[in-house]
Amino acid sequence: MLPGDPNLQLTLSGLERRLIGEGSHRHLSSTIQIQVPPQSFPLQSCKLVMIERLPSGVFADPFELDHLFHHGAYAGIGVFGDTNLELPSVSSNRSAVEIHMNFEHNISSGAMSELGIRIDLPLHARYAPLHESGYSEVAFGMPDLLVNCSMEGGSEMRSCLIVPSHDSNRLRTDVVWKIPCGIMSHTNVVSVVTFATAFVSTLVIVFASVLYPKPR
């Protein structure tokens, strides 16, 4: 439902994004601040809906998110797109995660308020395409943010969905994940040495079998 009050303009006053952790399993942390102008009617509660369009090369585990949801980490969660957990990124498609979070404070009418929330999304790296540098870079874009507020107007409860406008000077959204990857120039030596080692191990076992068994 679109807001009936044209003065209801929420502003995204701060968005800070960070990748927390090391290695192939990290958390994408998003700290969001939204300014709420004075309202004619008090806002009962507000919920944030964040749609994170994941770049190719990372994925969210729907079963892990479901486990976290049941532990109360989110008000709602859903994963869309390619949820195959096993494929490398060359064979997989992108996915998106929709997260619902409740803002903690009720907002009264007649005063400028600020809503703040932090969302942690566990992510995992897929096996990246080969690159001579040994690392593949995956960049995260800006998430889509929607705020769903319920408000009292007379005897009715109404809800509205707002896309906050943003002040780009206060947004820190550059997040890049460097994922280790295989190096093409290793191919020949890896193939040769792999098969040579398999051959040597075979010889060890064959010689042991032929030379040593002694029936009792």
Partner 1 sequence: MTARAIMNLRSILIASAVFRLVLILYGEWQDAHMEVRYTDVDYLVFSDAASLMASGSSPYKRTTYRYSPLLAFLLIPNSFLHRAWGKFIFSASDLLVGYFIYKILKQRKVAEDLCLYSVMVWLLNPFTFTIGTRGNCEPIVCAMILWILICLMNGKIIQAAVWYGLVVHFRIYPIIYALPIIVVLDPRYVQLGKKPLLVNWKSNTQKPSSQSSEEASTRYNLWTAAKSMFSRERILFGLVSGGIFFLCTGLFFHLYKWEFLNEALLYHLTRADPRHNFSIYFYHIYLHYGHQLSLVEKLISFLPQSMVQLVLISSFAQDLPFCFFLQTVAFVAFNKVITAQYFVWFFCLLPLILPWSDMKLRWEGLSCVGLWMGAQLHWLLWGYLLEFRGQNVFLQLWMASLVFLLANAAVMAVFIRRQGCSPIFLQMKVRDAKGGVKSE
Stretch that binds partner 1, among 9-17, 27-35, 48-56, 184-192 (CB under 8 A): 184-192
Contact 41, 109 (CB under 8 A): yes
Asked if 180 interacts with partner 1 (CB under 8 A), we say yes
Asked if 202 interacts with partner 1 (CB under 8 A), we say yes
**Identified binder of partner 1 from the candidate list 59, 74, 127, 140, rule CB under 8 A:** 127
Task: Report how far apart, in Å, the C-alpha atoms of 8 and of each of 17, 103, 109, 162, 165 are.
Answer: 26, 17, 11, 9, 12
Contact 20, 27 (CB under 8 A): yes
**Identified binder of partner 1 from the candidate list 37, 67, 142, 152, rule CB under 8 A:** 67
How many residues lie near partner 1 (CB under 8 A)?
51
To partner 1, the closest distance from the beta carbon of 88 in angstroms equals 6
Asked if 86 interacts with partner 1 (CB under 8 A), we say yes
Asked if 193 interacts with partner 1 (CB under 8 A), we say yes
Q: Which residues are registered as beta bridge partners of 118?
A: 31
d(CA 96, CA 78): 8
Contact 46, 151 (CB under 8 A): no
**Identified binder of partner 1 from the candidate list 88, 116, 141, 153, rule CB under 8 A:** 88
Cβ closest to partner 1, residue 12 vs residue 181: 181
**Identified binder of partner 1 from the candidate list 20, 163, 176, 208, rule CB under 8 A:** 208
Sign of CA dihedral 53, 56, 57, 60: positive
SS3 label, residue 179: strand
Asked if 93 interacts with partner 1 (CB under 8 A), we say no
The residues, any chain, with a CB within 8 Å of residue 151's CB and separated by 6 or more, are 39, 41, 42, 43, 44, 157, 158, 159, 160
Q: Which residues are registered as beta bridge partners of 89?
A: none
**Identified binder of partner 1 from the candidate list 63, 116, 161, 163, rule CB under 8 A:** 63
**Identified binder of partner 1 from the candidate list 1, 2, 157, 205, rule CB under 8 A:** 205
Residues that bind partner 1 (CB under 8 A): 22-25, 63, 67-68, 71, 83-86, 88, 90-91, 127, 130, 134-135, 178-184, 186-187, 190-191, 193-195, 197-202, 204-210, 212-216
